[in-house]
């Protein structure tokens, strides 16, 4: 008897659960909103978390007309392909994607685009033209900017260390190639060491400690992002060799603070374009024409202009 | 009363034998109810294709774990074979058949090397494959010079077919996954190798004393894992159109998760590849439904960990 009662209760609970689920899935009868799906490549990186947060802010401002859903590719091309497929199954009206890598993500984005769903590629593009609009900044140009700045600050002579991002990743390649396209053409500038620290502070700190041991003279350090530049600064400070030029990329709040304190030389803001992406998405959904490519300008930030860009309340 | 007890013990037996399958069923029904996008042919075929690569790796891993071993180098081998095959196509202009044979051969050799170091060096599999995981990944970076080997239009059509093609409505990776499952099930149930795998995992010393060449069969098992990884790698580069040294980072954990959810004991000797198949599908559906519901990615990772614990608790009750 007791058992029967128990199982009756269990059935009742399950039935209630099922009812509530069915009800909750029925509630979206109101006015039709557009569903924007965002496929982010990874969320390990604060810059990419910031991209998502700013996108959510932009969506929030337009919440009466758009719903938003996002996925995290967990730094894995296969996972991100699955994510795009899932978003497509979900029935999104527009896809915003920041592909982890161009080539592998191209076919799945093509399928979505060819099925009539507009696609905005953000930060990194795909290899075909099966997208509506690309929004992003040029890592190669930023690398060139860093190379030019390094050469002029060192008066075209000096030993430079390069701290790279994740090996094989497109931004690493572009930030490196851009830098070398300038640095290698100036005989006085020697890139004496080059090591990846995966865009992370702690590995950059360790690598820099080793280089400080092996190189009595270091005039400049080019780090592929601010996070690593900050690690480099810690190592320089600990070794009492803070005179070196340190250039980073991204425009992280902490890097700005370091520039204001006179420790870091400069950084290049690498804009994430998420606010623009939502803006362009709304235009597309309303049927307006948008350009195929929107190139975001980078900005050199140094001691002379850092106050203009510093925002103590920024996520990043 | 007697009848009731009979039913009760019958239910218990069914539960003990099929709890993983029931878990899958519950997840499936739940998913169908909460998202109208879930129960569509397109979505389900997508999910199956998504799980194929991890599934094939996990089946190889099942053999290894059944012998009470572990293979942490699967993700690195996936990258190495992928880079090698992409390189052979792009830099050496090799045809598909040669690429296929070299790729599978490379996987087999790397796996066999794991097995030989483990058995002849008498070092724990965890340590050996942890070491080869790093070295093989390094080799992949060295071979590819740290840059993706982009095939693009030079992808052989057969390779593309393996990764992206369909046989009827079924994606080719799914067909290959099912074929690997059927083959492995046959090996474990009907072949000497299968009997020895369970015997070694159950009690290695007893197996040795009864005349089984334990070192040889353990090496075969690691070689088999390498071979399956190589097949998965061919699917991956066919799908991605690029060989990249960072392919498959952390895939060893996904594979182990599928095996464990599927009810195979890490102590060896107990488990089936069918269980692993279900484990892989459960993980795939979980990914899919959480995406469809728009559950945040941080929460997804937490939930996946919890599911693994629950699955292990369930299978523990069984033994």
First-last CA distance in chain A: 61
Backbone angles phi, psi at A266, to 5 degrees: -165, 160
Distance from CA of B190 to the nearest CA of A (A): 34
Residue A126 sits in the same domain as residue A147: no
Grade residue A2 by pLDDT with cuts at 50, 70 and 90: very low
Structure tokens at B171: 């994606």
Q: Which residues contact B306 (CB under 8 A, 6 or more apart)?
A: none
Residue A169: what pLDDT? 74
Residue A31: what pLDDT? 61
C-alpha B273/C-alpha A266 separation (Å) is 56
* pLDDT exceeds 80 at position A315: no
CA distances, B35 to each of A200, B38, B288 (Å): 38, 6, 11
Beta strands A34-40 and A94-97 are parallel
Task: Answer whether B148 sits within 8 Å of A103, measured CB to CB.
Answer: yes
Q: Does A18 touch chain B (CB under 8 A)?
A: yes
Residue A75: what pLDDT? 87
Supply the mean pLDDT for chain A: 89
Q: Which of A228, A216, A132 is nearest to A176 (CA)?
A: A228
C-alpha A65/C-alpha A233 separation (Å) is 46
pTM of the model: 0.81
Residue A170 sits in the same domain as residue A279: no
Residue B291: what pLDDT? 87
Residue A169 sits in the same domain as residue A91: no
Task: Answer whether A25 sits within 8 Å of B35, measured CB to CB.
Answer: yes
Question: Which residues on adjacent β-strands are paired with residue A95?
Answer: A37, A119
Residue A63 sits in the same domain as residue A126: yes
C-alpha B125/C-alpha B268 separation (Å) is 13
Residue A51 sits in the same domain as residue A161: no
Q: Which of A289, A256, A298, A292 is nearest to A125 (CA)?
A: A292
Residue A143 sits in the same domain as residue A216: yes
Q: Which residues contact A191 (CB under 8 A, 6 or more apart)?
A: A160, A161, A162, A180, A183, A184
Element (H, E) at A36: strand A34-40
Residues 241..270 of A with a Cβ closer than 8 Å to B: which? none
Residue A280 sits in the same domain as residue A161: no
Are the beta carbons of A160 and A190 closer than 8 angstroms? Answer: yes
Residue B231: what pLDDT? 98
For residue A167, the chain B residues in CB contact (below 8 A) are 141, 146, 245-246
For residue A70, the chain B residues in CB contact (below 8 A) are 294, 296-297
Residue A88 sits in the same domain as residue A189: no
Residues 235..274 of B with a Cβ closer than 8 Å to A: which? 236, 239-242, 244-247, 249-250
C-alpha B243/C-alpha B154 separation (Å) is 12
Q: Is residue B18 part of a domain?
A: no
> Which residue stretches of chain A are H helix?
2-26, 46-61, 77-90, 102-114, 139-153, 170-183, 201-214, 226-238, 253-260, 274-285, 306-309
Q: How many helices (H) and strands (E) does chain B have?
A: 13, 4
Residue A221 sits in the same domain as residue A151: yes
Q: Is residue A291 part of a domain?
A: no
Q: Is residue A315 part of a domain?
A: no
Beta strands A133-136 and B242-243 are unpaired
* pLDDT exceeds 80 at position A127: yes
* pLDDT exceeds 70 at position A4: no
> Which residue stretches of B35-124 are H helix?
41-66, 74-90, 96-120
Q: Does B230 touch chain A (CB under 8 A)?
A: no
Q: Which residues contact A98 (CB under 8 A, 6 or more apart)?
A: A38, A39, A40, A41, A48, A51, A121, A122, A123, A124
Mean pLDDT by 10 residues, chain B (319 residues): 70 76 91 92 91 97 97 98 96 94 98 98 97 96 89 88 93 97 97 96 95 97 98 94 90 94 92 95 92 84 86 66
Q: Give the pLDDT mean for A106-132.
A: 94
For residue B141, the chain A residues in CB contact (below 8 A) are 167-168
C-alpha A147/C-alpha A150 separation (Å) is 5
Residue in chain B nearest A24 by alpha carbon: B34
Grade residue A1 by pLDDT with cuts at 50, 70 and 90: very low
Task: Answer whether A106 sits within 8 Å of B241, measured CB to CB.
Answer: yes
Residue A231 is part of which domain span?
139-270+304-309
Q: Does A89 touch chain B (CB under 8 A)?
A: yes
Query: What one-character DSSP code corresponds to residue B269?
Result: S
CATH of the domain at B191: 1.10.3470
Q: Does A106 touch chain B (CB under 8 A)?
A: yes
Structure tokens at A119: 């696609």
Distance from CA of B259 to the nearest CA of A (A): 19
Structure tokens at B55: 């599934």
A222 versus A4: the higher-pLDDT residue is: A222
Q: Is residue A83 part of a domain?
A: yes
Residue A167 has its nearest CB partner, among B35, B38, B141, at B141
Are the beta carbons of B64 and B71 closer than 8 angstroms? Answer: yes
Q: Is residue A9 part of a domain?
A: no
Are the beta carbons of A173 and A142 closer than 8 angstroms? Answer: no
Residue A222 sits in the same domain as residue A278: no
Are the beta carbons of A194 and A175 closer than 8 angstroms? Answer: no
Q: Is residue B237 part of a domain?
A: yes
Q: Which residues contact B105 (CB under 8 A, 6 or more apart)?
A: B230
Q: Round the CA-based radius of gyration of chain A to a whole number and report it.
A: 24
Q: Is A109 helix (H, G, I), strand (E, B) or coil?
A: helix
Are the beta carbons of A92 and A37 closer than 8 angstroms? Answer: yes
C-alpha A201/C-alpha A273 separation (Å) is 24
Q: Is residue A26 part of a domain?
A: no
The torsion of the CA quartet B285, B287, B290, B292, rounded to 10 degrees, works out to -80
Residue A221 sits in the same domain as residue A154: yes
Residue B249 is part of which domain span?
23-29+37-314
Residue A32: what pLDDT? 78
Query: What one-character DSSP code corresponds to residue B20?
Result: H
For residue B142, the chain A residues in CB contact (below 8 A) are none
If one counts the domains in chain B, the total is 1
Are the beta carbons of B276 and B58 closer than 8 angstroms? Answer: yes
Are the beta carbons of B81 and B106 closer than 8 angstroms? Answer: yes
Q: Which of A187, A185, A163, A186 is nearest to A176 (CA)?
A: A163
CATH of the domain at A277: 3.40.50.2300
Q: How many helices (H) and strands (E) does chain A have?
A: 11, 12
* pLDDT exceeds 50 at position A86: yes
Q: Is residue B307 part of a domain?
A: yes
Residue A103 has its nearest CB partner, among B46, B240, B249, at B240
Q: Is residue B73 part of a domain?
A: yes
Q: Which of B191, B195, B179, B183 is nearest to B66 (CA)?
A: B195
Q: Does A71 touch chain B (CB under 8 A)?
A: yes
Q: Give the pLDDT mean for A71-84.
A: 92
Q: Which of B189, B183, B178 is nearest to B281 (CA)?
A: B178
Grade residue A12 by pLDDT with cuts at 50, 70 and 90: low
Residue B317: what pLDDT? 55
C-alpha A66/C-alpha A36 separation (Å) is 7
Size of interface A-B (CB pairs under 8 A): 102
C-alpha B301/C-alpha B280 separation (Å) is 16
If one counts the domains in chain A, the total is 2
Residue A123 sits in the same domain as residue A151: no
Q: What is the pLDDT of residues A46-76, one digit of tens each?
A: 888 889 999 999 999 999 999 999 999 988 9
Q: Does A127 touch chain B (CB under 8 A)?
A: yes
Are the beta carbons of A231 and A208 closer than 8 angstroms? Answer: yes
Q: What is the largest CA-CA distance in chain A?
A: 92
For residue A196, the chain B residues in CB contact (below 8 A) are 146
How many C-beta atoms lie closer than 10 Å to residue B23's C-beta?
Answer: 20
Element (H, E) at B228: helix B214-240
């Amino acid at each position: 008897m007791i058992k029967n009662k128990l199982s009756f209760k269990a059935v009742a609970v399950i039935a209630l659960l099922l009812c509530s689920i069915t009800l909750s899935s029925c509630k979206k009868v109101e006015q039709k909103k557009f569903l924007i799906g965002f496929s982010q490549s990874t969320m390990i990186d604060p810059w990419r978390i910031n991209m998502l947060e700013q996108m959510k802010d932009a969506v929030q401002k337009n919440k009466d007309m758009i719903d938003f859903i996002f996925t995290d590719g967990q730094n894995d091309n296969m996972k991100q392909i699955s994510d795009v497929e899932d978003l497509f199954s979900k029935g999104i009206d527009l896809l915003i994607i920041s592909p982890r890598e161009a080539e592998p993500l191209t076919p799945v984005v093509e399928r979505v685009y060819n099925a009539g769903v507009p696609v905005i590629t953000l930060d990194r593009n795909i290899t075909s033209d099966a997208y509506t609009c690309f929004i992003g900044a040029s890592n190669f140009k930023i690398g060139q900017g860093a190379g030019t700045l390094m050469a002029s600050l060192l008066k075209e002579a000096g030993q430079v260390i390069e701290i790279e991002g994740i090996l094989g990743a497109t931004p690493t390649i572009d930030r490196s190639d851009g830098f070398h396209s300038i640095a290698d053409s100036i005989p006085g500038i020697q890139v004496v060491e080059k090591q990846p620290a995966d865009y992370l502070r702690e590995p950059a700190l360790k690598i820099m400690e080793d280089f400080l041991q092996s190189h009595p003279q270091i005039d400049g350090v080019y780090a592929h992002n601010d996070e690593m530049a900050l690690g480099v600064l810690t190592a320089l400070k600990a070794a009492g060799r803070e005179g070196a030029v340190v250039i980073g990329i991204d425009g992280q709040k902490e890097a700005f603070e370091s520039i204001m304190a006179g420790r870091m030389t400069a950084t290049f803001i690498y804009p994430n374009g998420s606010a623009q992406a939502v803006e362009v998405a709304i235009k597309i959904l309303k049927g307006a024409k948008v350009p195929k490519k929107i190139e975001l300008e980078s900005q050199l930030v140094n001691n002379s202009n850092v106050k203009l860009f510093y925002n103590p309340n920024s996520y990043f | 009363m007697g009848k009731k007890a009979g039913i009760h013990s019958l239910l218990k037996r069914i539960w003990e034998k099929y709890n993983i399958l029931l878990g899958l069923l519950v997840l499936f029904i739940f998913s169908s109810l909460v998202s109208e996008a879930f129960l569509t042919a397109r979505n389900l075929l997508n999910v199956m294709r998504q799980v194929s690569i991890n599934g094939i790796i996990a089946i190889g891993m099942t053999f290894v774990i059944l012998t009470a071993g572990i293979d942490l180098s699967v993700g690195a081998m996936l990258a190495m074979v992928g880079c090698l095959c992409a390189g052979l196509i792009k830099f050496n202009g090799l045809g598909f058949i040669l690429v296929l044979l070299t790729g599978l051969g490379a996987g087999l050799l790397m796996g066999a090397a794991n097995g030989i170091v483990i058995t002849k060096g008498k070092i724990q599999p965890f340590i050996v494959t942890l070491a080869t995981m790093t070295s093989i990944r390094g080799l992949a970076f060295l071979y590819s010079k740290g840059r993706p080997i982009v095939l693009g239009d030079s992808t052989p059509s057969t390779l593309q077919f393996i990764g992206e093609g369909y046989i009827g409505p079924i994606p080719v990776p799914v067909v290959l996954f099912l074929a690997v499952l059927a083959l492995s099930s046959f090996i474990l149930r009907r072949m000497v190798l299968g009997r020895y795998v369970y015997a070694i995992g159950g009690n290695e010393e007893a197996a040795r004393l009864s005349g089984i060449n334990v070192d040889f069969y353990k090496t075969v098992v690691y070689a088999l894992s390498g071979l399956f990884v190589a097949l998965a790698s061919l699917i991956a580069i066919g799908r991605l159109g690029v060989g990249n040294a960072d392919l498959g980072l952390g895939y060893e954990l996904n594979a182990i998760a599928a095996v464990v959810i599927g009810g195979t004991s890490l102590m060896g000797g107990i488990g089936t590849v069918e269980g692993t198949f279900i484990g892989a599908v459960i993980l795939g559906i979980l990914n899919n439904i959480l995406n469809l519901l728009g559950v945040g990615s941080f929460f997804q990772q937490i939930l996946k960990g919890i599911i693994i614990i629950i699955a292990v608790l369930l299978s523990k009750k069984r033994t």
